[in-house]
Chains A and B, each alone.
Chain A
């Protein structure tokens, strides 16, 4: 079965520093991949998605992610963190056994210090 792993439940960075949030998936079949962001007590908002068109995907707010098939990874990066980036980030992957469904990771909470 497909699974998705987000390494690090909490990540802390200084304002202006690089943000790197890790996501690995298990399927040997290249899936659809998504990153969502959740601000406190709110729903999720799509940051970006990979659907096989290009391995480097650019999203909103200067976030980007690179699909690496050899590493089964889809890590999220941002060159310079801003205080407003503090939120929880979820990686999600399509389920090859059931194309109706997304499987979500357990989330990574990003803290940004001044």
Chain B
């Protein structure tokens, strides 16, 4: 089955620690995205990538970092610089970076800072 997988489903972090969220897709999509979802705020774009070894900041990139070494993978690191990291994180992909295209979403990772 083609799709997007995210792991882990739940993640707990102590303050001051960096954590990395995994996102893998087997849809052969060029574009990948990371969103943060908070109650009542919808989805906000953190980073996106058009192609391997290239990525752009979204609206709320501070305190986050990404890499795109392989087409299939787009991991997100939540650093200790992120002031309020507790949230639901969603990864998505699309054929290409163009808002015309449907984005396909993974099941999400819920991050809680203890």
Chain A residues near B (Cβ < 8 Å) = 9, 31-32, 34, 36, 41-46, 49, 51, 90, 94-95, 99-102, 104-107
**CB pair A51 B100 closer than 8 Å:** yes
Interface bits B75-114 vs A (CB < 8 Å: 1, else 0): 0000000000000001010000111101111111010000
State whether the Cβ of B56 lies closer than 8 Å to any Cβ in chain A: yes
Q: Sorted from nearest, which 4 A-B pairs have the closest CB atoms?
A: A43-B105, A94-B99, A104-B43, A104-B42
A43 touches which of B40, B48, B56, B107 (Cβ 8 Å): B107
**CB pair B105 A45 closer than 8 Å:** yes
**CB pair B110 A41 closer than 8 Å:** yes
A106 touches which of B35, B41, B90 (Cβ 8 Å): B41
**CB pair A106 B42 closer than 8 Å:** yes
Determine the distance from Cα of A59 to Cα of B4 in the docked complex, in whole angstroms: 22
**CB pair B100 A94 closer than 8 Å:** yes
Determine the distance from Cα of A42 to Cα of B90 in the docked complex, in whole angstroms: 9
A residues less than 8 Å from B41 (CB atoms): 106
A102 touches which of B4, B103, B110 (Cβ 8 Å): B103
CB distance from B105 to the nearest CB of A (A): 3
B residues less than 8 Å from A102 (CB atoms): 45, 99, 103
**CB pair A99 B99 closer than 8 Å:** yes
Nearest B residue to A106 via CB reads: B42
**CB pair A43 B99 closer than 8 Å:** no
Determine the distance from Cα of A106 to Cα of B58 in the docked complex, in whole angstroms: 17
Q: Beyond A100-B56, A101-B45, A104-B43, is A42–B99 a contact (Cβ under 8 Å)?
A: no
**CB pair A9 B42 closer than 8 Å:** no
CB distance from B58 to the nearest CB of A (A): 7
Determine the distance from Cα of A7 to Cα of B55 in the docked complex, in whole angstroms: 33
* A-B CB contact pairs (8 Å), 24 listed: A9-B40, A41-B110, A42-B107, A42-B108, A43-B90, A43-B106, A44-B90, A44-B92, A44-B105, A45-B105, A46-B102, A49-B102, A90-B43, A95-B99, A99-B98, A99-B100, A100-B50, A100-B56, A100-B97, A100-B98, A101-B45, A102-B103, A104-B43, A105-B42
B99 touches which of A36, A100, A106, A107 (Cβ 8 Å): A100
